[in-house]
Structure formats: C-alpha cells, structure tokens
Amino acid sequence: MLGADSLFVCDLTFSYYLYIWRIYANVGCGKVGRTLAEQLQEEDTDITLIDINPDRINEITDEVDAMGVVGNGASINTLMEAGVQTADILIAVTVSDEMNLLCCLIAQKTGHCHTIARVRNPIYSKEIGFIKERLGVTMIINPELAAAQEISKLLRFPSAIKIDTFARGKVELLKFKVMPEFELDGKSIQQITEHFRCDILFCAIEGKDYTTIPGGTNVIRNGDVISILATPQNAAAFFKKIGLKTHQVKNTVIVGGGTISYYLAKALLAMKIKVKVIEKDKNRCEFLSEELTDATIINGDGTDRSLLLEEGLESAESFVTLTNMDEENIFLSLFAKTISNAKLVAKVNRLAYDDIIDSLDIGSVIYPKYITADYILQYVRATQNSIGSNVETLYHILDGKAEALEFKICDNSPIVGRTLSELNLKKNLLVGCLYRDGSVRIPRGHDALEIGDRVVIVTTNRGLRDINDILAK
C-alpha cells in the first residue's frame, strides 16, 4: 500500500518539477504542473518543485505550499536532490514527450516509483502498449486526446453543457441549463421525478447566488444549471420529455487545426458526422488532408467573419473553436451565438478567469489542463486507498467546489452488506449510482453495497480516497 504524504511535479515548459515526497515524482510544472500542485496540496502531500529558472520557482512556491529545487529535471543529480529515490510516483508533464519518457525511465532506474508521462504526439498513440510495457511507464496521459473525447461526447449529446462518464460509459453525469420552455420553474426535485417518471438523480444545482447538492425538497428555477446522474438511455428519455434535443449533431465547423482538432475530427468522422476544419497554416492543412481524407480542410483565417459565413456557420449544427488563443476562441463563440443555433464548444487554456468565462454563456468550455489534472488525481487517489476499494474515476464539478468519484469495491469493509439507510453518511454527500452485474440503478435507502459493485459518489467533501471515507467520523 502506498502512502500519501508527498508529490513531485516537473514541467519543462519552464523546466519545472514538482515532487510529492514518498508518493509522486511529477516532472513538469507549467500550466498542468501548476494546476496539479494547487489540487494536490489538498491531498495531504508535501510538494517539491524543480525548475531551471529560480524566479519561476519562487513564483510558484509563493502560491503553493511546496519546496523548490533549481535544476534540470532530466538530470539524475537533480532528481536525486529532489528525492526521486524515495518517491512513490513520478509525473512527467513537460512540453516534450521524449523528455517525459526519459524522466520516467530515469526514475524507474533510480528509484522504485510508479511513473506517469504526458505523451501528446499522435505518432505515439499507436505505441502506448509498447511504451508502458518496455519502458515501464505506469500511465500515459494525452491531454489533447482526452479533450477531443470530451468534445465528441458533447456533440453526441448537444443539449448537455458538460458530460462526465462512469462505469465505462454505462453512467453519465450531465449538466444542462434550465430554460423557461422546460416548464420546470418552481417545481421541487421530488415533483419533477414523480411527474416525468425517469430513473435519474438530481445531484447538483448551480443557481445565481448558490451552489448545492440537493434533496427532494429543493426547488428548480429558470436559469439554474442542473447536474443529473443517469444511464445514457434514461437521460435521453428525460431530456426528450422536457423538450431538449437528444440526437447527435450532423455536422460541425472546427476553427484551428491543431492536435485536438486532429483527434476530434477522427472521432467525429467515425460517428458519421460531417467535419469541416479551418486552419491558416498551409503545411498543417496538407497534413490534415492526408490524414483526414473524409473531412473538408479549408486553408484560411478562422477569425475572418466573411469566411465563416461562406463556410456555412449560420446553418452549422455545431461550432468548435480550438485555436491557440483563448480570446479568439471565446470571441468566435460569442459571434456564432448571435448568428446561429449551433452547439458551441470553446477551448480555454488559462484557468484564472474561468468564473468570468462561465458567465458569458457561450455553451460548453473545455479546459484541457483540468482534464489532465483530474486523470492524474484519479490515479493518485487510487494508489492511496486503504481498505478494499479503488478510485476508478474522478471529476471536479461545480467549478471545483465538489467531486464526483467512482469507487470499485474490491474487498470487505464496514459498509459492505449494510443498507444505505443504516450508514452514517457525511453531510453534503450523495450515493448517486450503483453499477452491479451489468445493470445500473439509482440506489435507495434499502439498497446495500456488495463486493464487486461500482458506486458513484457526489460530494463537497474533498479528498475521498476509499469508499469508507463516505462515513462520518
């Protein structure tokens, strides 16, 4: 069993490193590294940052409770100084795939830690099995591929603002905004569930001035953002009854031809969705044309109003902005909102103004750094479990105010065999969904958890690592 006392992160975007003592060695502290450091400091870990730039080290350590080491993260001496020989996990998230793999390899030879590498180049996507087996890398993270998968889910179910999946896709956590035409205003959750008779669970309400994990008496208002847990089929049935579209989009316009666009286009084409990509770099267009033979590739400036209109933005069913400029992505989404009814998805890299961006109501916003951090935290929690369960999936929801976690119950524990009504659960916690023997259901008070179950927990209590953590002390 691994402990949970320390972390190391190294991001060679600025040649940073963050080290979680005794638990993790994390190579790379750029945007991803910083996000990890901020979230992992809440995990009862000691953090050490490594960077060749002393000013950068000082900047991060002033904001995050962490130690700093100045040096090159690819150096054995630097890693030894940071304590990699006693680390449990090394996380390499530099801008260089090769550097990340090298850092993991060095960590394997120097210490006995698990290793996580960020690998972004599509060339390596077909070689993940070989990399993990021969280089001993425990986990491969591809932020661009993960972001593309998130976007493809939204285009499959465009009525949702955000979709998170559990139980290998059998359960979904969907976020949507309540509109007047739904006729839900002023109704309690109990009234809604009884009226529509859909097997769903309301697990979060985000109002204008409040955010809560609700009970049956909570009242829904127009403009509220609601999160529900359900199977894809039950969610679709509920959305259909309240008047939301449930069919996937038929076509999409993508601005920006980077790596996320490449992965996204491949996924959408496999879903029989027509894809048009606008990219201003000619060489990149030639690459995309060769790799995405069924997509339409346009060599042009995606911020050009006349070009967007010429390429059918007004009639497009979805519009995805994936340029390297957050401002462009946001502006283009705002423009598309004024001239079309398209499903809007915008990529944003900078995290500091996420609350302001959310207030703009520009559809779905994808933060690749958050996605990457959640995947890594999921693994971190899984290594820290103490009694018979694993964190299988983890998402931060409600703007980071709450977590949705999937646990797999692997062994006996104090909660096995006891009904939910008998358990002294923590406040602000919902046992949202139960997956057993291939079937999914919303658990009630008389249900009991069994070995082999997968259970989804939604809570504002941070840092749950084991299924027993749902119990009040």
CB neighbours of residue 112 within 10 Å: 11
Confidence bin at 1 (pLDDT 50/70/90): very low
DSSP, collapsed to helix, strand or coil, labels residue 362 as: coil
Per-residue pLDDT at 27 exceeds 70: no
pLDDT tens digits along 327-362 = 999 999 999 999 999 999 999 987 666 677 777 888
Confidence bin at 25 (pLDDT 50/70/90): very low
State which fold the 6-141 domain adopts. Rossmann fold (3.40.50)
- Domain pair 164-236 / 251-366, same fold: no
**Half-sphere exposure of 390 toward its Cβ, with a 13 Å CA cutoff?**
13
> Which of 71-75, 340-344, 413-417 has the least mean pLDDT?
71-75
What are the structural domain ranges in the chain? 6-141, 164-236, 251-366, 375-470
User: What is the side-by-side strand order in the sheet with 162-166?
Assistant: 162-166, 171-177, 225-230, 201-206, 211-212
Provide the token pair at 185: 């205003």
pLDDT tens digits along 439-453 = 998 998 999 999 999
Sequence-distant (6+) residues with CB within 8 A of 159 are 176, 239, 244, 245, 246
Let me know: does 30 contact 9? Beta carbons within 8 Å: no
Estimate the share of the chain in helix, then strand, then coil, as percent rounded to the nearest 5. 35, 30, 35
- How large a percentage of the chain has pLDDT more than 90? 49
DSSP, collapsed to helix, strand or coil, labels residue 302 as: coil
Residue 97's H or E segment, with its range, is helix 97-110
- DSSP secondary structure, 128-169, as one string: HHHHHHHS--SEEE-HHHHHHHHHHHHHHSTT-SEEEEEGGG
Sequence-distant (6+) residues with CB within 8 A of 166 are 172, 173, 392, 393, 404, 406, 433, 435, 454, 456
DSSP, collapsed to helix, strand or coil, labels residue 187 as: coil
CA 401 to each of CA 159, 212, 395: distance values in angstroms, whole numbers, following the listed order:
23, 10, 11
Superfamily for the 375-470 domain: Regulator of K+ conductance, C-terminal domain (3.30.70.1450)
CA 55 to each of CA 15, 16, 50, 59, 270: distance values in angstroms, whole numbers, following the listed order:
12, 11, 11, 6, 47
Radius of gyration of the chain (CA): 23
> Which of 6-10, 381-385, 398-402 has the least mean pLDDT?
6-10
**CA separation for the pair 50, 11 (Å, rounded):** 8
In the CATH scheme, what architecture does the domain 251-366 have?
3-Layer(aba) Sandwich (3.40)
- How large a percentage of the chain has pLDDT more than 70? 91
CATH class of 164-236: alpha beta
Residue showing tokens 């099995």: 129
Question: Crossing angle for the helix pair 368-384 and 143-156, nearest 10 degrees?
Answer: 110
**CA separation for the pair 66, 89 (Å, rounded):** 16
